[in-house]
Amino acid sequence: MQLPLSISDISELIFLAIALIVFIRLIIYLLKRAWHKQKCKLVWTPIDVIERRSNLSYDDFIKEYASVGKPVIITDVMQDWKALEKWTLDFFKFEYGAVECAVKKDDVEVHSLMTIADYIDYMISGNSNKRLYLANWVVSCYPELLDDYREPIYFPNWLQRLPRNLLIKYECDNPEIFIGHKNTSVGLHKDPDNFSAWLGLISGRKRIVLFTPDTKDVLYNGEIDIFNPDLEKFPLYAKANPVEVILEPGEVLYIPSQWWHHVNNLENSIGVGNIFINELNSELVFQSFVEGNPIKGHLLPLILEFPWLTKPLLFLGVI
């Protein structure tokens, strides 16, 4: 007659089962990392014009644009956004006028803090020589605004697996709203840490100039003003191959990893955008984080794969 299992036997079996599950998950994780490392390489496609596409399937987007590092404008992804009608200067002034946000002046990262009401008054007054741009207003601080738009299906974002307090700590809390005065600019830059990005335009028009990653040596680390280049000071810029486009309301621009871009507001404008990481750029992002901090960089893929690790690592101060 078989004796019933003791509590210690049951505990041991539970421990072995958990250990086996963890072991299998780790093996799967390592295999996925190996696959990503083979697939996730910096690739770009030289272009003379940025295509506009509608009725673009996710598979075609991956095949024709994301997998070959090619920007594209998607013209119909914002059609059902409430934000297109709702997000106006009056709306933000009366609903969020007391909110303080950082404003930029030309190429200065943070010029000062202003309330949204004061900034909008500055925009519509037309009697100031300042060139201030209210950028990087984090939408998730006001969850009700998240209901006014829908994240485009083309840009799955692994960052959404992580708790918001961690994203805030590392300045990855997105999406962000950009409210720009006519003729203001965010300056020539590429998005940090090899993230890819998308930019959707609610109102106004934006002039955007893009450059492939291999032209970084002639862009002087973003110091040059693309819209008024000084070739005596920056002679190598003459070798650059800029690609220019006008982004219209209701359109979304996809910006692949490491593409330099300079954005100028042709009119008072409102936009929303996001940086993101997924299987196509993950290893590039991981490597960038490793270069900045080896320990935290190596932990990033682990916590994206096993988000439950975030709380104990935060508690221990490891991340």
DSSP of 21-36: HHHHHHHHHHHHHHHH
Q: Among 258, 244, 228, 205, which residue's Cα sits nearest to residue 106?
A: 228
Encoded amino acid at 9, one letter: D
Is residue 3 scored above 60 in pLDDT? no
Residue with the bigger pLDDT between 26 and 234: it is 234
Write down the CATH superfamily of domain 43-281: Cupin (2.60.120.650)
Closest by Cα among 258, 256, 282, 295 to 34: 282
Helix (H) or strand (E) holding 96: helix 89-96
Tokens for 6, please give them: 């003791």
Cβ proximity of 310 and 191 under 8 Å: no
Could you tell me which residue, 16 or 178, shows the higher pLDDT? 178
Residue 128 binned pLDDT confidence (cut-offs 50, 70, 90): low
Q: Is 62 helix (H, G, I), strand (E, B) or coil?
A: helix
The better pLDDT of the pair 13, 208 is held by: 208
Please give the Cα distance from 257 to 288 (Å, whole number).
Answer: 12
- The pLDDT tens digits of the residues spanning 147-171 come to 999 899 999 999 998 988 888 888 7
From CA 233, how far away is CA 268, in angstroms rounded?
Answer: 31
Percent of the chain clearing pLDDT 70 (strictly above): 92
pLDDT of residue 41: 79
List the one residue out of 255, 264, 259 whose CA is nearest residue 242: 259
Q: CA separation (Å) from 3 to 25, 48, 270, 281? A: 33, 78, 73, 55
Q: What CA–CA distance (Å, rounded) separates 200 from 272?
A: 5
Q: Mean pLDDT, to the nearest integer, of 120-139?
A: 81
Res. 318: pLDDT tops 50? yes
pLDDT of residue 132: 85
For tokens 């003791």, the residue is: 6
Average pLDDT, the chain: 88
* Out of 48-57, 130-139, 187-196, 295-304, least confident range: 130-139
Choice between 245 and 183, residue whose per-residue pLDDT is larger = 245
Biggest CA-to-CA distance, the chain:
95
Q: What is the residue extent of each domain of the chain? A: 10-39, 43-281
Q: How far apart are CA 240 and CA 212, in angstroms?
A: 9
Does residue 66 or residue 104 have the better pLDDT?
66
What is the pLDDT at residue 309? 86
Percent of the chain topping pLDDT 90? 52
Cβ(206)–Cβ(261) under 8 Å? no
Beta carbons of 221 and 266 less than 8 angstroms apart: no
In the predicted structure, residue 4 carries a pLDDT above the cut 70: no
Range 282-288 average pLDDT: 91
Query: Which pLDDT does position 238 carry in this prediction?
Result: 92
136 torsion bin: left (phi>0), alpha (psi -120 to 50), beta (else)? left
pLDDT at 1: 47
Cis link prior to 175 (omega < 30° from 0)?
Answer: yes
